[in-house]
Structure 1
Amino acid sequence: MTDDTQRACPDMRPVVRETYGPGDLGGHPIFAGGFINFGYWQAVDLDLPLHEEQRIRSQEDLYRQVLAAAGLLPGQRVLEVGCGLGMGCALTLREYAPAMVTGMDIHPEQLRRAREAQADLLRQEPQRLRFVQGAAEEMPLAVGEFDAVISVEAAQHFPDLTAFAAQAARVLRPGGRVAVASFFTVDDAPQRPEELAKLLDTFANGLDIARPVAALSQAFTGAGLGEVRVESIGAHVWPGWDRWLSRWWAPGTWPRNFLRAYQGGLFDYYVVTAVRGR
């Protein structure tokens, strides 16, 4: 049941179009194994030399954290918003025995790469994996279609968290759960965006949007979702990410400022979950 339907490309911000299109962020060696996330490093000994095996483990473990938070059970249907190359979709199929996994991304180039990267799975599991094009704020999917909606390190790009929350609530079945992993500011202090822009190029150029984590939790509540929970996992993200970045960048260079921003209390990494009422 592969979905090769070609839709008009939804509006996307130019910096997102470039970064995930011609820029091909996922092609950088910092994102080993085809994943594009900072990783969850709890199971990795950061005092030992890091190799690609440990890096891939960290990225897989971030998905495992999110899928566990979503409470995904065998035989259920799951949507990943911002699926990238579909590596998380493949892990979900491999380890969680869902009935169906849908990977959705706004960028047609990412979907092309996903279909290439997962070509074998698409042939082997045509009824259980599909990729569709759509924006987080305007999902081309049916009401109540999914038991779980997940998003791993994509929400920092979403221009409208309120619209995303409304769409997640719409496509979830009653009792379904949404789980989002991303980085947000720790509060709504008005200087936070400027502070992060001074430290990190991705905030300066607008790729990442500085918003408080409460903006997402309140958006979920406003969309009628309940049992909203916010969990900080930064202690298991930022030190490992910085340790991995040290292979390419020296202290004081802008990529190393992710850890600095976290240690300075400007932002953190969170898993945010909510449930659609029955």
Structure 2
Amino acid sequence: MAESVRELGKLLASVVPLDPVMRVRHLYSLIPADLEFAGRSTSYMNYGYWEDGCEDLDQAAEALARLLGERADIQAGDTVLDVGFGHGDQDFLWLREREPRRVHGLNITPHHVASARARAEREGVLDRLDFREGSATDLPYADDTFDRVVALECAFHFRPRTAFLAEAFRVLRPGGTLAVIDILPVDPTTPRSALRSPQFSWIATTLDDANWHGGEEYLARLSAAGYTDLSLESIRDRVYEPYREHMVRRLSDDAFVDALAPGQHETLTRVWEGQDLLKEDLELLDYVVVLARKPG
């Protein structure tokens, strides 16, 4: 695998080992945006939900956001909290397609907040999209504020996730819905150290041990927090392998290569070497949609 990727992992581990917040901020600051979103038309930061007909990561990433909006049952007039919103693409999608009254976004990464706010200002929707910096485990909102609390492929970063579940329960209105798309080990006895590909070095460097557990434990923790109507569905077959195949395929696509800036193709090719090791890691990881309700 690419030596540069290994060095990034070492850098992350060495410069922010004691501060969980800074650890995640650094993770999302290490890769330059022009490389992370090379050849992209959106700034979604997820692996995508690869429905039949999805041709690229932008379509799949939007399909995943749309799936979460559907499962959360975001409705016209709802007040929604999106925790760990990335650049906020899904919030603009939900505003357009599901017409909530207002979406509040919370994120600990300052440049993500700035990016989302700037887009909301450009599109004239600052009155309906409120993006701010803050912690998922100490939500700066009053009790019983939101109809839906959602987290799209990020709750594994929250330290610990159980604190977020409790905070989400507090700020949900009675009858409100928590909807989370999350990453878990397929087998909870698998150690994090078993993941060896550079693409998943972040699991060793940024994931809280308390978050490394299976689906049954996830549901038990939701129940302990007071939630009812629990469900956990694995969608890994529509996520990991189609994503991997797409990333490998596009690096040999002449149109994609021609659109890259000098040096980008070489860097991306190095990052995506060692496919056998990556496949082994993907077999160890689950990808789930989790739903729960605050009793009404």
TM-score over 0.5 for the alignment?
A: yes
Residue 191 of structure 2 corresponds to residue 192 of structure 1: yes
2:45 matched residue in structure 1: 36
SS at match of 1:64: helix
2:151 matched residue in structure 1: 151
- Larger mean Cα displacement after TM superposition, 27-36 or 233-242: 27-36
1:6 matched residue in structure 2: none
Q: CA deviation at 1:250?
A: 7.3
Residue 64 of structure 2 corresponds to residue 62 of structure 1: yes
Residue 291 of structure 2 corresponds to residue 273 of structure 1: yes
Alpha-carbon distance change, 259 to 85 in structure 1, aligned in 2, over 3 angstroms: same
Provide the rounded CA distance (Å) in 2 between the counterparts of 1:259 and 1:230: 24
Alpha-carbon distance change, 140 to 262 in structure 1, aligned in 2, over 3 angstroms: same
Q: CA deviation at 1:258?
A: 4.9
Check conservation: 1:169, 1:225, Cα contact below 8 A.
yes
Alpha-carbon distance change, 174 to 38 in structure 1, aligned in 2, over 3 angstroms: same
Structure 1 residue corresponding to 2:73, chosen from 59, 71, 80: 71
Alpha-carbon distance change, 254 to 158 in structure 1, aligned in 2, over 3 angstroms: farther
Question: What residue identity is the alignment partner of 2:294?
Answer: R
Check conservation: 2:37, 2:43, Cα contact below 8 A.
no
Provide the rounded CA distance (Å) in 1 between the counterparts of 2:73 and 2:197: 38
Please list, as runs of the form range in 1=range in 2, the aligned pairs for 1:48-59 lying within 5 A after superposition. Answer: 50=55, 54-59=56-61
Q: CA deviation at 1:161?
A: 1.2
CA RMSD, 1 decimal: 2.5
Provide the rounded CA distance (Å) in 1 between the counterparts of 2:120 and 2:145: 23
When Rg is computed on C-alpha atoms for both structures, the one with the higher figure is 2
Fraction of identical pairs, as percent: 30
Which residues of structure 1 form unaligned runs of 5+? 1-10
Please list, as runs of the form range in 1=range in 2, the aligned pairs for 1:153-172 lying within 5 A after superposition. Answer: 153-172=153-172
Provide the rounded CA distance (Å) in 2 between the counterparts of 1:103 and 1:109: 13
- TM-score normalised by the chain length of structure 2: 0.78
Q: CA deviation at 1:214?
A: 3.5
Deviations 1:8-32 (A, max 9, x none): xxx6433312122354568503693
Provide the rounded CA distance (Å) in 2 between the counterparts of 1:39 and 1:100: 25
SS at match of 2:24: helix
1:110 matched residue in structure 2: 112
- Larger mean Cα displacement after TM superposition, 156-165 or 246-255: 246-255
Alpha-carbon distance change, 234 to 108 in structure 1, aligned in 2, over 3 angstroms: same
Provide the rounded CA distance (Å) in 2 between the counterparts of 1:26 and 1:169: 37
Alpha-carbon distance change, 59 to 101 in structure 1, aligned in 2, over 3 angstroms: same
Which residues of structure 2 form unaligned runs of 5+? 1-18, 252-267
Provide the rounded CA distance (Å) in 1 between the counterparts of 2:64 and 2:44: 10
The count of corresponding residues between Structure 1 and Structure 2 is 256
Provide the rounded CA distance (Å) in 2 between the counterparts of 1:159 and 1:108: 18
- TM-score normalised by the chain length of structure 1: 0.83
2:23 matched residue in structure 1: 15
More helix by share: 2
SS at match of 1:118: helix
